[in-house]
Chain A
């Protein structure tokens, strides 16, 4: 007690020994921790460099400029055997981003449908949705990927016995082949029409919501948007006299050549990721909807809203507040899970860069470091975007 009294008098006189000042203490401890972490990282890094040198293992990032010398099946940028390891890295990165981006969109759509279906008053629909969720989310993703690849995709017929449901579209074990549109001269009008349509749609949406806020009058924005998006480019095509031809896939030698093609590895990975992640999204959506008090639905009913309108205008906007934060997690999971591609031969970042490149160069430390950095960056960017989106969707308190 005496000590405390003495301290107390010290404080009142305004002269605390810096040793006892909690603010200074806090700073000192935090500085000490920072120094400790920096020193630890430095020791780790210098130790690694020293050991790599003493073991005669090449180090540094110069290898990125060397010729790769191996081929990759699916490339979004021009890539050949003579490209560099750096190019191979970009190819792998783009393949990862491609499957993650398409996967996120499809998983969200499927997840919302299943999530809402789970709450359907139709017994059959609700039970089917429940069964889907319970089966899919309780099986390991790797098993599901292997199932989609080895059991489903691999049981497709050989190129010579392809399914050809429609002219120009072929499905076989080598992938899905589709006609590729080739744009001739004058097709710039078509491109321009798409851009104009998108701009017009944004303008109309803004105008319609402002008008509704001011006058209460509604405008059929959805139908107008659809009409614009498909109508304008079609109109442009008619005006320019259809400068589009289609390059049809043809069976030549072993395989189909020409046209567009989706690799079976890509399809299997996408299917696996979408179906798996959608089951989690469905549960998030269900939870979000159930978090909205039933009184809101009843109130909407009392105002004469139809069920669909109640869901769209009352329930979902409020549910989104609950849904978005965990949804972010699922998007991150999907992106990171795409690295399981290595099991089914899809050339993603891990397979191409942390697989082939690592092995051909032997520079494990650098390659794994870059790969981890890439996943970290992708995840943080996704997270930042979703936080921004969450702020936009949060209830505005007036």
Chain B
């Protein structure tokens, strides 16, 4: 488990020269023939392999969207499952091309780690899950509790901040993998389990009796989750960033995977530019002009991806909330394609 570090250390110490010198991730990806995407080790609805070994989820679909933008083929992507503490080293050393793994955007991650966030594909916040039998209704009643948490996350820091700010004691029980955290909580090692609210909904489904547990109402932090790339390759950053924006714009304009072919004949200039029937917006990015149309056709717009993986119709049953489009009172806002 920890041995995974060794190759990275060697890579970080010696082999990074390769990535630093070229820093043309798009050319590398095209040469390789596939996108290497850093994914979660298993977070239902966001990124986990299904029973056939096929990767599914909200973040996984975003990786597929990037692959479609480049290759017009959602299967030309390989996933590297990464724990919270492995993820940044894997990206820094060039083991993955992009990290889409419910990772929180913070200042120190942007400034000290040689990384840059390409936007926010999911606005989240940290919450607590407890057993209903505990008989509490607020996180402020958790003083003295044992809390299960995953190592190397902003969650671990927010947890300490929250208890300190409210003058409460707690006992952290820290694991490396989210599965281990859930297992420990399920076995009763901890009174509470904390992670991003989206994660709580996903992990609750893995518990022996999901109905015995409840999520407390407090959201104790801002967790803007988004894709991350290495610094120093602005072209690649642009591709990742605009893959997200084109999916937002598609939802806003009502373009879906079902109607994208008809929409190509639309008279709306916004839609024409987005789908590449007018102007040459793809070529300067190193892509084809119809890259946007391909992404929508093969993966879908933002709303489709959300509903398919985590939306109200799925076992997770998450409502759009902050992740609704700006036109519907949410925060998701795509800059214009022009």
Contact = CB atoms under 8 A, between A and B. Distances in A.
Nearest to B130: A254
Interface in B169-204: 170-176, 180, 183-184, 187-189, 191
Interface stretch (A4-12, A46-54, A204-212, A313-321): A46-54
Interface stretch (B31-39, B70-78, B156-164): B156-164
Contact of B176 (A82, A265, A355, A361): A355
A283 to B, nearest CB: 26
Contacts of B231: 55-56
Interface residues of B, number: 56
B2 A48 contact: no
Q: What range describes how many residues of A lie at the interface?
A: 35 or more
Contacts, number: 156
B9 A365 contact: yes
Contact of A173 (B108, B112, B183, B189): B189
A342 B20 contact: no
A48 B113 contact: no
B232 interface: yes
A54 B18 CA distance: 12
B10 to A, nearest CB: 9
A173 B157 contact: no
B180 A345 contact: yes
Interface string A53-69: 01111100000000001
A55 B92 CA distance: 8
A57 B85 contact: no
B187 A154 contact: yes
Given A70-B160, A355-B151, A365-B9, A253 B173 contact: no
B337 interface: no
A257 B173 CA distance: 17
B319 interface: no
Contacts of A361: 112
B41 interface: no
Interface stretch (A162-170, A223-231, A325-333, A346-354): A346-354
Contacts of A354: 2, 5
Interface stretch (B42-50, B142-150, B216-224): B142-150
A81 B158 CA distance: 11
Nearest to A364: B89
A51 B17 contact: yes
A173 B113 CA distance: 38
Given A47-B17, A173-B187, A359-B88, A57 B2 contact: no
B174 A356 contact: yes
Contacts of B9: 364-365, 368
3 nearest CB pairs, A to B = A359-B152, A362-B113, A57-B114
17 contacts: A48-B12, A55-B231, A56-B111, A57-B112, A70-B156, A70-B159, A71-B170, A72-B172, A158-B188, A173-B188, A253-B145, A254-B145, A254-B191, A362-B88, A362-B89, A364-B88, A368-B9
Given A55-B16, A173-B188, A254-B134, 14 more contacts: A48-B13, A48-B14, A71-B160, A173-B189, A174-B189, A255-B144, A255-B145, A255-B191, A350-B2, A355-B176, A356-B85, A359-B85, A360-B152, A362-B113
